[in-house]
Structure 1
């Protein structure tokens, strides 16, 4: 925004200092919605763009504040840089809450900036007055109000440091009018960034040597070791290290939903997903039969452990856990050994110790048997995919999608209808492929805005967004954003005219007393076209294959409205639901 010669000549106001600090932190994009309290921030962004002095900052206008925070969340997940969103006072701050909470709960560094009323108007019933610091305190690592313009650089540095270090998470900074409009008097030497906190995890930590040696010993002596990876392994970028560990130890790996994609799904040691939602039976078998379980970046929460019932015999198995957050170590099971540290560094050290200790192992009969079961599972699944049933089964939709995925695809799913089918049947090719889904709070309306954030993090990737009609109703406005920005995404809408997940629960637990879960299918194709998207209706398997082919051959955004089978017609692959229907299921 200004060079060293400018700093001593032109007095800066707070909004300009904010923009310059973000530029110093190498921020490439800000997602937000304009408001009357943020006009000076927008003016500063405009002046930066007009000056054309690299590095610049792009502002992406969302259609509502919740979407802006979801965009920042997805951007951070894929770029490994903090995601920045901004919104005005009052309702704007309130609308931002879902995305900020999701980011914090999922350990994603999002910095939420809210502009606010003048400090002079506090307590006077000023329109949009709201205690935003208190609002965000319970859903962030840190929430603060800047009351002195000279503290702007210090607080922004603290925000980046808190967001990216330890367990990454969300922070919130409120800028009252005075902090945006008053002149900055502290001097240009105060305006600088901490380079270490421009990406995450910042200041990575590794375990103590004695603990690493003990953990390596448990793994070396195991007869049936199993690696269980969670979202923390993905956030750490530990894929190559975990692959090296699996291959040297000939140890299979399973993942939680958030851990998907650490290894290519066709890798001989990547058995699949565990837990309640979209599980793989052979992956569950591995957890039950292993003698040593190594959890990496996994919180062992309710879904991945099926309400802490898996593993079912923890006293007979050695449970080892690696997590960046010491508060998660031994939180839900009694560990034999806990190690606090960054997943990538700790696993890298483990691999080094193990290679010094033993020669590379060969796959055991146990691993061979697990892979045989996995092979049978996919053969049976693929036989079912060929069905010409209408409405289309969700698994048939995912199967057709798999045929078009390359090694550079990002698949983003909403919570709800797509979740169990995507986690069970999606097959990522590895390398640059990623799967993203909001798992902290499961809010609807994530996928469409998330593809926007994903595009700015990975402009080279082919993007796929998966969502149900409940989600579409909450985020349809962002179809205009996708169209305006020409985001190269294939948007697949599962249209079953219901809040399908809740309706299925009402069938299982409320004797089919369906209440307030059904709505009209209407014509989402017309809605998408109205927002400027190429859109097609899909009702048959042949139409699905044809429209997917056309969508992936093109470069622009495409919306596919797919008439899909409701969850009440056939129980989705959710372990607890299947168990309710058939207690003998394994």
Structure 2
């Protein structure tokens, strides 16, 4: 049948099982929105307050559901406003398809009104960027975009479509989406055998779980693998929930703000088994002194990650789930009881400490875990609150922590929370933000209110840019340049003005009743938590130092008293 380009776009989204699109209309994309209007009973459109919010919502939807997130934007500034969200998804390997529209073909390259080369701009931060100038190529391009976003290592894809293509007609034939096969052709039998032998020979193994274990849905197989290897587990920020954070084998997050037990375990181990992690600088610290006592065995779907940051002794390239299945089939039950006991002692000797007598981030996160039973989806912005959310909420399942790990995008969390809640209506969704981050995209409160999306927005309000101030305090002689937010902004009034119910918490005993009430209301809620500006995230590793030199407040006090 003959359809115009806009109708083809909608039909292709329906082919792919898309039920929700986040976006913002404009002149160049008007034809698409007109077609979308006619299919509003099949595809829900969430009008965000800003295109960046749409990109983060698509990202949060993808992370929480495991499906591809979709966002729309018009040409020029509409398209460029997606860039930060696309880059966020790229750094964390999140599958989204961003569809933008541009000026007509005759106007391309002439500095026309609201014209920009968005395909060129996003080329370095997407798996692929398309520009469609021929309606006959439109359907296949959209189908390719979804395939590329999902296959192998996931990531964002941009499809830019000229306005005349959205109006032109051609024949459309409905097609069943291509089945995405797991990457197995790169898994070599000799690599599997070598990996099994290395595991058998190890006396002090540690399993390091990253975001790839979540992307491949390998959580159950990872648990079986860990039990067979009989090893403690550490994770990256992106890997949280891949392995149950309440399991006795769990030693904590690795790296700059990881637990001392995790950092010391990796420093002492003789085999580090890496499942879907990329050895970020925030994980490794000084790479020359990282896991020097260990052989490194890395499993990753992306061959480019092998030997990129840390030299490996062996690797297996392919889908993490399939790799773990094959190794589990060959591996006999191991016994490392003495090593497990040693790591248990490290956990006992170096617990995560904080002051329970006054309101602070760690206490709030532990109380949120208590109230939700660990079954909520937590999104975060970036900074101290992000680290407290990672350290003090035990993620039991994958896809329950949504956070910008690679790009570190302030303002990410609220949009992501909206996307997650739209995709997972039965889940409690809570965004943890600092007051500095909240200012970046707080306009998305209006989105939550407009659609009555019951997310809980939590502001850790310490009146400073907390993490930057922490670095200024520790490494810049307490010169607090441009990090103090002493002003008269009233976040409760802002929330109420946007139609959001709001609370303020100032004392520990208020945490549980306020959160219980907020959850029970099942409406959008903002909770402002007044914190001390001098609170810090510990443990911490100084930039350039090895992770074995993690320090906390007690270590600083001892140093000051020497």
TM tier relative to shorter chain: over 0.9
Q: How does 1:350-365 map to 2 (within 5 A)?
A: 350-354=327-331, 358=332, 360-365=333-338
Q: Note if contact 1:104-1:110 (Cα within 8 Å) is conserved in structure 2.
A: no
Q: Does 1:296 align with 2:291?
A: no
Work out the CA distance in 2 between the residues paired with 1:295 and 1:226: 9
Q: Does 1:479 align with 2:449?
A: no
Segments of 5+ residues of structure 1 without an aligned counterpart are: 1-6
Q: Does 1:557 align with 2:540?
A: no
Q: Does 1:280 align with 2:259?
A: yes
Work out the CA distance in 2 between the residues paired with 1:438 and 1:66: 14
- The equivalent of 2:13 in structure 1 is 22
Work out the CA distance in 1 between the residues paired with 2:23 and 2:283: 34
Per-residue deviation at 1:516? 1.6
Per-residue deviation at 1:45? 0.8
Work out the CA distance in 1 between the residues paired with 2:384 and 2:135: 47
Q: Note if contact 1:394-1:565 (Cα within 8 Å) is conserved in structure 2.
A: no
Q: Note if contact 1:420-1:573 (Cα within 8 Å) is conserved in structure 2.
A: no
Per-residue deviation at 1:333? 2.1
Q: Note if contact 1:114-1:173 (Cα within 8 Å) is conserved in structure 2.
A: yes
Per-residue deviation at 1:572? 4.0
Per-residue deviation at 1:124? 3.5
Q: Using structure 1 for the length normalisation, give the TM-score.
A: 0.90
Deviations 1:417-458 (A, max 9, x none): 212212222223x24671121012101001111111101222
Change over 3 Å in CA distance of 1:210–1:287 after alignment to 2: same
Work out the CA distance in 1 between the residues paired with 2:455 and 2:355: 24
- The equivalent of 2:408 in structure 1 is 442
Work out the CA distance in 2 between the residues paired with 1:262 and 1:154: 34
- The equivalent of 1:262 in structure 2 is 242
Per-residue deviation at 1:362? 4.3
Work out the CA distance in 1 between the residues paired with 2:502 and 2:34: 36
Deviations 1:495-519 (A, max 9, x none): 1112122222222222222222222
Work out the CA distance in 1 between the residues paired with 2:66 and 2:490: 38
Q: How does 1:234-253 map to 2 (within 5 A)?
A: 234-253=214-233
- The equivalent of 2:155 in structure 1 is 169
Q: Does 1:88 align with 2:74?
A: yes
- The equivalent of 1:4 in structure 2 is none
Work out the CA distance in 2 between the residues paired with 1:456 and 1:352: 39
Does 1 or 2 have the higher relative contact order (CA < 8 Å, sep 6+)?
Answer: 2
Deviations 1:472-526 (A, max 9, x none): 1111110111122222322210111121222222222222222222222521011
Aligned residues: 550
Query: Over aligned residues, Cα RMSD in angstroms?
Result: 2.1
Q: Does 1:508 align with 2:474?
A: yes
Q: Note if contact 2:269-2:291 (Cα within 8 Å) is conserved in structure 1.
A: no
Give 3-state SS (helix, strand or coil) of 2:430's partner. Answer: strand
Give 3-state SS (helix, strand or coil) of 1:34's partner. Answer: coil
> Which deviates more, 58-67 or 547-556?
547-556
Work out the CA distance in 2 between the residues paired with 1:571 and 1:149: 53
Change over 3 Å in CA distance of 1:123–1:363 after alignment to 2: closer
Q: Using structure 2 for the length normalisation, give the TM-score.
A: 0.93
Per-residue deviation at 1:377? 4.1
Q: Note if contact 1:296-1:322 (Cα within 8 Å) is conserved in structure 2.
A: yes
Q: Note if contact 1:78-1:457 (Cα within 8 Å) is conserved in structure 2.
A: yes
- The equivalent of 1:122 in structure 2 is 108
Q: How does 1:147-158 map to 2 (within 5 A)?
A: 147-158=133-144
Q: Note if contact 1:404-1:552 (Cα within 8 Å) is conserved in structure 2.
A: no
Work out the CA distance in 1 between the residues paired with 2:539 and 2:494: 31
Q: Does 1:456 align with 2:446?
A: no
Work out the CA distance in 1 between the residues paired with 2:208 and 2:109: 52
Segments of 5+ residues of structure 2 without an aligned counterpart are: 544-549
- The equivalent of 2:547 in structure 1 is none
Give 3-state SS (helix, strand or coil) of 2:213's partner. Answer: helix
Deviations 1:520-559 (A, max 9, x none): 2521011111111110011111222331232233322221
